[in-house]
Structure 1
């Protein structure tokens, strides 16, 4: 309690002295009527005494290029027109009305007396709630680009072709950046990573490819033959990117791995119709062996054509077009002559 009273007495004394010096210029509390600069942490090892010490720590008022005042002029009124704004607002920070030389107004008007004019920027809480982009002005962006330009390399002209670029860089990872007004600079959706790759770029066998499609489920696009992995479990983008790469690695090695129960896989367990392993091909080959003695024609091309038609029918389903193609392929393979029923008029 005693220390508190001493502090209050000292503050009262300083206020009285400040008032006396303000109204009576003849009164001075400094020695020699000079201004002494204050150093919070002076270098004790290089301390000097006498006249040298006075020259180091004392500064004359006429040597200052500014005036000491109880009501200083706002910085926005002292700013030159051609100043470097990147030095005034170098990084993202809270809005400060005394620094921004713009007549900004925001919010809802108080009453009819003011004509519902939005409040000015001073003491405006609405301007403090949102994020500003005063640090991302065109000169600031250009300055940043020129700074990091020496660390960048020019994009190769040969890779401007999309097909060539996909051949050398098959893996595609997509992320998103957002500019929004909110309590934090980081948008929650900016952490999401989307990985895409074509299955043909993985160089998998037919068995491994079918197993990978089963593991992917709805993440596989049949039309484009691409797999898509979306990761958003981790809090940062880098963690989600590493997790997506980890999932791709695990899926690749698991699809190449052969489990003991996979050896007993039959034709009905296949993910799609395989003509080389089907019973239809074995039946056609057996039929050709029987007719080989009397038939000397080469029917290997007809078997392949019939296999393509049969595969399309099983994979796409029984449509009128697929059934018509199967009928024509069967007639061509068996060398049957097409027949037609002609309607004849019967006279009584």
Structure 2
């Protein structure tokens, strides 16, 4: 088990990561005239450029710690957790709609927690049943609220099924990414969480070059100069805030927390995304949204309580290996 101080520090990093990640959901709202592919390509290209600039002063030290195996892992993680995940997500939204996609992707915390329950030193799954059920209830309430709103477009059953399959693919991609990323962080204690995030950014930026051609050459819709200035400004803000800062905080949380608790931290992305959406729309949450928020907060709170270190856990701490 982790110590209370370590868990509190990890939770703090997880909350702040969610605060930065929640901004990502505002990008498409502000830049509705641009395609999701353009948003993804610009975000990850800028993520790569900023990461490369920030990592240059430390490159001599890092190149001795990161070899061919680590770079291959970074490329796999970047492809899985950023590029492929986003393609699945965008396709799911296009085919099944935002409501159904949000419902499936909102199961990420539960999926990561279930996988993490098999890690060495993890809290037993039976102790996490109530927090998991509350998390599922919160996400379900959000889905019911979205489905019940007017203006939901008519989508064929085949499109919905294919869209749900894409959403399931996105869910699987990020679940696997979270587990593998946590294990690599545990395997490389000499590489800081921030440096690992910057290295991930460099790898993602290189992969984003493959997205740039179809994103900006195949989509020929004309835009005013002011629209392009807003586009690159928002993309830069998302790249620096969500990708550089948010990912560094997430990596730190992943290193400090067991996977069963790390998974629950993803709920803060949903909570902050809802908060930013309410502020953008200048409205209060609906009754179902309010109940969903309370359920998600209770889910995280109970999960934290399950990970509270008991006095009898202190003795084996010195010899027990850290959960990845």
Interval containing the TM-score (normalised by the shorter chain): under 0.3
Who wins on radius of gyration, i.e. which is larger? Answer: 1
If asked which structure has higher relative contact order (CA below 8 Å, sep 6+), I would say 2
